[in-house]
Amino acid sequence: MNPGRERAVAALLCAVGAGLVLLAGGREWATVRASGAITPIGRTLTGGDLAGATTALGWAGLAALAALFATRGRVRAAVGALLVLLGAGAAYTAATGIGRAHVLAVAEERSTLLRLGGDLVVATSWWWAVSVAGGVLLAVAGLLTLARGGRWPGMSARYDRPGTGRAPAGASGAAGAAPGDPASLWKSLDRGEDPTLDGDPPGPGRATND
């Protein structure tokens, strides 16, 4: 696989991973109900309620996507290491945020009636696993960047035309200057040359400076 395709794969993993983390953060992760209460009492908790840090980590991972294209060398390697940390953090906070003790604690903080209820029943959805999967994809994108990112082109590489470069330092004067350069025109006039002749030998129909 060539470096350009490797970078595209890493960018795709980063985008999908961050998207899954952000998508899952706003969905329902758990529901707590008091089964022994006279009046049914329940509380629905989202990913933002149980693991709010995952959403912040997802946004940070999405921001790192642009850095994959804009950086090179050691800076890109640092972006890869950051992606590994962001992905691992998102996966860890999502996995620990769905624990029963944590879910009950958050639910009781948001609903005092649950404390007065009987047996509390916790039901979880699969959205927390989606967030974990997104974190894993972010980490994989970071590992790929660390391992292969040094070979990838930068953002400006596609706009560079092959064979273009600066003129040699010793090349000066009218021959090395652009035709419309005002400085070269003034130098030509100082030497007694006519810049309108464009370097062509004087013909029968042109007057010389002599």
Q: What is the pLDDT of residues 121-138, one digit of tens each?
A: 888 899 999 999 999 999
- The reported pLDDT for the residue numbered 153 is 75
Determine which of 62-71, 160-169, 199-208 has the lowest per-residue pLDDT on average. 160-169
> Which is more confident, 90 or 107?
90
- The reported pLDDT for the residue numbered 119 is 75
The answer to whether the predicted template modeling score (pTM) of the entire model surpasses 0.75 is no
Whether 60 and 86 have beta carbons less than 8 Å apart is answered as: yes
Closest CA to 51 of 101, 106, 110: 106
Decide if 54 is inside a domain. Answer: yes
User: What's the rounded mean pLDDT across residues 96-112?
Assistant: 84
Q: What is the pairing mode between strands 120-124 and 28-34?
A: antiparallel
Q: What is the CATH number of the domain that holds 91?
A: 1.20.140
- The reported pLDDT for the residue numbered 188 is 67
Decide if 165 is inside a domain. Answer: no
Residue 178 in tokens: 């652009």
Which residues form the domain of 18?
3-155
Decide if 109 is inside a domain. Answer: yes
User: What is d(CA 111, CA 30) in angstroms, rounded to the nearest whole number?
Assistant: 14
Closest CA to 83 of 9, 136, 23, 155: 136
- The reported pLDDT for the residue numbered 40 is 61
Model confidence at 172, pLDDT cuts 50, 70, 90, reads: very low
Decide if 205 is inside a domain. Answer: no
- Percentage of the chain exceeding pLDDT 90: 37
- The reported pLDDT for the residue numbered 70 is 83
- What letter does residue 200 receive in the DSSP assignment? P
User: CA quadruple 40, 46, 48, 51: dihedral positive or negative?
Assistant: positive
38 pLDDT higher than 80: no
Decide if 210 is inside a domain. Answer: no
Total domains, the chain: 1
Decide if 103 is inside a domain. Answer: yes
> Which is more confident, 193 or 70?
70
57 pLDDT higher than 90: yes
Chain centroid offset of residue 50 CA: 26
Decide if 166 is inside a domain. Answer: no
User: What is d(CA 172, CA 45) in angstroms, rounded to the nearest whole number?
Assistant: 73
User: What is d(CA 133, CA 165) in angstroms, rounded to the nearest whole number?
Assistant: 46
Closest CA to 77 of 13, 148, 3, 138: 148
Whether 23 and 120 have beta carbons less than 8 Å apart is answered as: no
User: What is d(CA 130, CA 178) in angstroms, rounded to the nearest whole number?
Assistant: 59
What's the mean pLDDT when you consider all of the chain?
77
- The reported pLDDT for the residue numbered 54 is 92
Contacts of 133 (CB under 8 A, 6+ apart): 17, 20
- The reported pLDDT for the residue numbered 210 is 45
User: What is d(CA 68, CA 37) in angstroms, rounded to the nearest whole number?
Assistant: 54
Decide if 198 is inside a domain. Answer: no
